[in-house]
């Protein structure tokens, strides 16, 4: 018998992309009788919840919809508390997963019983230049051995990941106090501490930021918030990140290194814009980080 699967969808204000995300779940070739979808809406102000309900009203997959105002940590824990699946596959509101994504990722987990978290690789097929650079940066950043000490401070992230339910429950679930970012980082630290492995599956791909792409405004907000809330997260996990690696000039050099690696893979000259992309987003990250530090020092 194949295992039961829970698909966790935590969303907020993503009316432009949520239909494609839900459709990609409903079109999975995995047995729908063995799937359930748990949606947790973070009090969306747009039409996200209305679109969700319309997409799921005739679905053959069992569905539960909740609303949770407490932030991402609370949203993800709501999925854990209500999940009946042996595995939880996380799909973000701006993602599209291929038709066989769940089949392939679950097959891998069944063959590797000590893997607690696994994830496919992002597809690099986009028209928007800024989106291409962002996805490329994710691609190369995750091209590491997640069992090595070098990758201790890296996180797979939840979007596109599969969690073994036993592993996440053994780790005590998500920290509900982490409301906006780093809730996935925190739980991965706990899962790894229990001896579970994390891994990227090379032959499985997913697509995010589909169609609408990233703008400079979106990128600014994303990394400002990430820097702001990473400071609060690091108060819980001090010395987890070496700050000199996050300094903008160091990020520029990292972008040069990544561009060299990616050019060998893609043979696309666009990769040589990565150093400037990294310089921008890590400058924004540092502004958010310092703002959080100054607010906490008052």
What does the domain layout of the chain look like in residue ranges?
5-208, 216-297
Split at pLDDT 50, 70, 90, the class of 127 is low
160 pLDDT above the threshold of 80 = yes
d(C-alpha 118, C-alpha 102), whole Å:
11
3-state SS assignment for residue 192: helix
Note the pLDDT of residue 210.
47
pTM over the 0.85 mark = yes
Structure tokens at 102: 């769940």
Q: Residue 164: which of 231, 218, 85 has the closest Cα?
A: 85
Q: What is the pLDDT of residue 62?
A: 95
**Whole-number pLDDT of residue 209:** 55
Q: What mean pLDDT, rounded, does the chain reach?
A: 89
CATH class of 5-208: alpha beta
Q: What values do phi and psi take at 71, rounded to 5?
A: 105, 180
Phi and psi torsions of 142, nearest 5°: -90, 5
pLDDT exceeds 80 at position 13: yes
pLDDT: which is higher, 36 or 96: 36
Q: Cα(23)–Cα(106) distance, rounded to whole angstroms?
A: 19
In whole angstroms, give the CA distance from residue 246 to residue 120.
25
Tell me which residue has tokens 């609370």.
74
pLDDT at 211 over 60: no
Beta bridge partners of 115: 197
Q: What percentage of the chain has pLDDT greater than the value 90?
A: 57
Average of pLDDT values for 192-200? 91
**What pLDDT score does 218 carry?**
86
Residue 276 neighbours by CB distance under 10 Å: 12
Q: Which residue has the higher pLDDT, 202 or 280?
A: 280
pLDDT given for residue 26 in this prediction = 96
Per residue in 62-74, pLDDT (tens digit) is 999 999 988 899 9
- Can you list the positions of beta strands (E) in the chain? 5-11, 35-41, 62-67, 87-90, 95-97, 115-122, 161-164, 197-208
Contact 208, 90 (CB under 8 A): no
CA distance 123 to 139: 8
The answer to whether the beta carbons of residues 209 and 132 sit under 8 Å apart is no
pLDDT for residue 141 is more than 80: no
């Amino acid at each position: 018998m194949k295992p039961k699967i829970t698909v966790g969808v935590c969303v907020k204000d993503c009316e432009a992309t949520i239909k494609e995300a839900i459709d990609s779940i409903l079109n999975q070739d995995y047995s729908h009788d063995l799937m359930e979808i748990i949606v947790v809406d973070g009090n969306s102000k747009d039409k996200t919840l209305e679109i969700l309900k319309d997409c799921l009203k005739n679905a053959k997959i069992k569905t539960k919809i909740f609303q949770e105002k407490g932030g991402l940590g609370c949203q993800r824990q709501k999925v854990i508390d209500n999940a009946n699946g042996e595995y939880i596959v996380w799909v973000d509101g701006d993602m599209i997963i291929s038709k066989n994504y769940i089949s392939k990722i679950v097959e891998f987990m069944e063959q590797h019983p000590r893997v607690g978290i696994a994830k496919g690789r992002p597809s690099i097929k986009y028209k928007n230049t800024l989106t291409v650079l962002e996805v490329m940066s994710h691609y190369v950043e995750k091209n590491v051995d997640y069992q090595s000490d070098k990758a201790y401070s890296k996180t797979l992230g939840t979007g596109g990941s599969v969690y073994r339910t036993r592993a996440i429950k053994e780790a005590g679930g998500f920290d509900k106090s982490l409301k906006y970012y780093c809730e996935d980082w925190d739980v991965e630290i706990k899962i790894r501490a229990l001896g579970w492995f994390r891994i990227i599956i090379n032959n499985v791909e997913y697509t995010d930021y589909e169609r609408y792409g990233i703008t400079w405004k979106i990128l600014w907000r994303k990394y400002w918030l990430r820097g702001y809330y990473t400071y609060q997260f690091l108060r819980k996990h001090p010395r987890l990140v070496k700050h000199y690696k996050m300094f903008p000039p160091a990020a520029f050099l990292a972008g040069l290194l990544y561009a060299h690696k990616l050019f060998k893979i893609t043979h696309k000259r666009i990769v040589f814009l990565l150093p400037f992309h990294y310089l921008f987003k890590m400058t924004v990250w540092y502004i958010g980080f310092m703002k959080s530090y100054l607010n906490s020092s008052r």
